[in-house]
């Protein structure tokens, strides 16, 4: 048995038939070939599969594709192509916050959501926001530095006279 779903993914209308038990992560990766949504633990513990669902970060491995019907989904590909996270990407690169890169997509989606909700987070708030993202390579300090630097740069760009 399949179910028809319609949703918007990275600004594009999508209509597909899916098995009711298919996760959103599998739908994005297998059906839409959006492989930036990584699968790590498939239990919601690592954060590698984070996407924005209705503007909020969710573990795509824990959400069924049918639950996303009628919603808007933004993946790392959409955020990258739109330029929404270009400054975050540059900051991650400049501070060597990338390492192996497996967790990076989830980290950037999460950081983007954090900075959207709180444009000037304290370092402790950044760490708290990242608590659902697991990284085995960086020790997190460079990631926190990159997000902090992005927040400070965005604030100075807003304050600078035109």
Q: What would the mean pLDDT of 143-148 be, rounded to a whole number?
A: 97
Q: What would the mean pLDDT of 52-71 be, rounded to a whole number?
A: 98
Beta strands in the chain (DSSP E): 3-9, 12-18, 50-53, 56-59, 72-74
Cβ pair 28, 73 in contact under 8 A? yes
* 162 confidence band (pLDDT: 50, 70, 90): low
Report the pLDDT value the prediction gives residue 41, as an integer from 0 to 100.
93
- CA dist 143 → 2, 56, 67, 104, 147 (Å): 41, 20, 31, 9, 6
Nearest 5 degrees, angle CA 142-CA 148-CA 153? 125
Q: Is the dihedral angle over the CA atoms 83, 104, 129, 60 positive or is it negative?
A: positive
pTM exceeds cut of 0.85: yes
Q: What would the mean pLDDT of 94-101 be, rounded to a whole number?
A: 91
Domains of the chain listed by start with CATH number: 3-79 (3.10.20.30), 85-155 (1.10.150.120)
* 99 confidence band (pLDDT: 50, 70, 90): confident
pLDDT digits (tens, 9 = 90+) for 101-126: 899 999 999 999 999 999 999 999 99
Cβ pair 71, 52 in contact under 8 A? no
138 pLDDT exceeds 90? no
Please state, in angstroms and rounded to a whole number, the distance separating the CA atoms of residues 122 and 62. Answer: 29
pLDDT averaged over every residue in the chain: 95
Q: What would the mean pLDDT of 53-58 be, rounded to a whole number?
A: 98
């Amino acid at each position: 048995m399949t179910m028809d779903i319609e949703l918007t993914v990275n600004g594009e209308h999508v209509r597909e038939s899916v098995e009711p038990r298919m996760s959103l992560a599998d739908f994005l990766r297998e059906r839409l070939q959006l492989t930036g949504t990584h699968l790590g633990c498939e239990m919601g513990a690592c954060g590698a599969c984070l996407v924005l669902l209705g503007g909020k970060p969710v573990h795509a491995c824990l959400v069924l594709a049918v639950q996303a019907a009628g919603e808007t989904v933004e993946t790392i590909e959409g955020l990258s192509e739109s330029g929404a996270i270009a400054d975050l990407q540059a900051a991650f690169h400049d501070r060597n916050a990338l390492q192996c890169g497996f967790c990076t997509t989830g980290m950037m989606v999460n950081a983007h959501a954090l900075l959207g909700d709180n444009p000037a987070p304290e370092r402790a708030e950044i760490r708290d926001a990242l608590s659902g993202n697991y990284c085995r390579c960086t020790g997190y300090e460079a990631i926190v530095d990159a997000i902090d630097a992005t927040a400070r740069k965005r604030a100075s760009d807003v304050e600078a006279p035109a």
